[in-house]
Amino acid sequence: MKRIRLVGLSMLLALIVVSGCARPPAPIQPTPDPVTLKFMHMGVASDGRDHNRYVMQAFPKMVAERYPDIRVKSEMLPEDAYTKSLLMQLSAGEGPDFFEWWPMRQLEELARAGYLQDLTGMDILQAFSPEALEGFTVNGRVYGLPKGFSMMGAWFNKDLLRQHGYADWPQDWDSFLELCETLKSEGITPIVMPGKDWWFLQFGLYPLAASVLYPEEPDFDKRLLAGDATFAESKWRDVLHMYKLLFDRGYVADGPLETGAAQAAAWFNDGKAAIVFGGNWDYGSLTASDGSGSSSDPAASSFERGFMPLPGNAPGKPLFLSVGPAGGTVINKNTRNLPEVLDALAYQFEPSSPLYVEFKQQYRVFPMFAGEDLGIAELAGYTELMRSGRSVPFSNQRWPVGVAEALCAGFQDWLAGEGDADDILAAMDRALLRAR
């Protein structure tokens, strides 16, 4: 994609030929300073672990190599700080030139507020499937560039489960509880949970809700937003009690509120816990393939991993997957550098570019359409299940900003001995009311 550059006034004057007059030598023009693009991305855990080499290193370096007049300055923040900082900047008419954001409801809020660049009809959209673009489309207009689909579920140690009589992953909630009880009774920690950062608690809650609530009430979130339903009078109470049961029975490693993401990944990779909740985005850290969260014992980390849905369904009831559009890149409506931003992103999504190779290495675990074969053994079983079509988006993707925070902060309090499920549901309803 070519950029349009404004021709300086001195250059225009130099092109004017004055008939009959000798033209003096044109003054030497200074080399213009590179355009600096500010890019923000969530994902640095509170323990300081930077797990995205692509965002912080490869992307800025390779854009500068391709476009000497462009510099990318990347910044990563923990999710809480990231959201608050961005919303404050955008409301003031400022903010980064482009940034990572969530799809569906949370994207819609920014689009309706006039914060996002409308990309409808731009050539860059041709790189994406219609399915992938759905999460970044509002009233037929496209406002973002997706990575693909995110899949939420449970990573597990296949070797450890086989040793204790489980060749296959449980197919319903009762069977999952039985597995956890078996592991615990034989001295194995069933689950490690990084509950220090609130957003990790979502990774068990939404998969349970997918099979408990949405099969009977597929329009539940629409009714919430319309004021025709509440959390307090819904099956979210069942979901909360099911999740809390895992902690109450001692299936989750001690000290979840003091456990960060890196520590939980190391526990899993060391074989000290059989299961950790998460998503396809955890492939690097939970297979120790990129060095983050890697095991201290290479021999212990060599076990076979699997990734499957957390089954919240009752025996004989269908299993629904928790699958939603992955986060993607959006462009600030107020950027003064739109041509340069589009150049950098077009280079990223050009299949023949070296930057695209780096991009797919970082994000290759995100299928661009439901059921795509990624060629990754650990994810094959899950993507095969996606072909059934029985899936619902992550709950928070259809909620206003603030509701998921109330859910997980309340659950943290519950784990700490303060409040209960009713308090959590009431806080979620208050957050929803404020956002309407």
Give the predicted TM-score (pTM) of the model.
0.80
For residue 145, what are its two tokens? 């560039």
Residue with tokens 């190779």: 357
Residue that has been written with the tokens 């995205």 in this structure: 52
Q: Cβ neighbours of residue 214 under 8 Å, at least 6 residues apart? A: 220, 320, 392
What whole-number distance in Å separates Cα of residue 239 and Cα of residue 273? 23
Q: Determine the number of helices (DSSP H) and then strands (DSSP E) in the chain.
A: 18, 13
Per-residue pLDDT of the chain (436 residues; tens, 9 = 90+): 434 333 332 332 332 233 344 445 555 555 578 999 999 998 764 444 556 789 999 999 999 999 999 999 999 998 888 999 999 999 999 999 999 999 999 899 999 999 999 999 999 998 888 888 999 999 999 999 999 999 999 999 999 999 999 999 999 999 999 999 999 999 999 999 999 989 899 999 999 999 999 999 999 999 999 999 999 999 999 999 999 999 999 999 999 999 999 999 999 999 999 999 999 999 989 986 444 444 444 544 689 999 999 999 999 999 999 999 999 999 999 999 999 999 999 999 998 999 999 998 888 999 987 778 899 999 999 999 998 879 999 999 999 889 999 999 999 999 999 999 999 999 999 999 998 7
Q: Where in the chain is the domain with CATH 3.40.190.10?
A: 31-148+326-363, 153-323+380-435
CA dist 107 and 330 (Å) reads: 9
Q: 147 CB contacts (<8 Å, ≥6 apart)? A: 326, 327, 328, 363, 366
State the burial class of residue 69 (Cβ atoms within 10 Å of its Cβ: 0-12, 13-18, 19+). middle
CATH architecture of 153-323+380-435: 3-Layer(aba) Sandwich (3.40)
31-148+326-363 classified as CATH 1.50.10.10:
no
With CA atoms as reference, report the closest residue to 392 among 140, 205, 262, 122: 205
Q: 53-63: string of b/e by CB count within 10 Å (b at 16+)? A: bbbbebbbebb
**What span, in angstroms and rounded, lies between the C-alpha atoms of 397 and 399?**
6
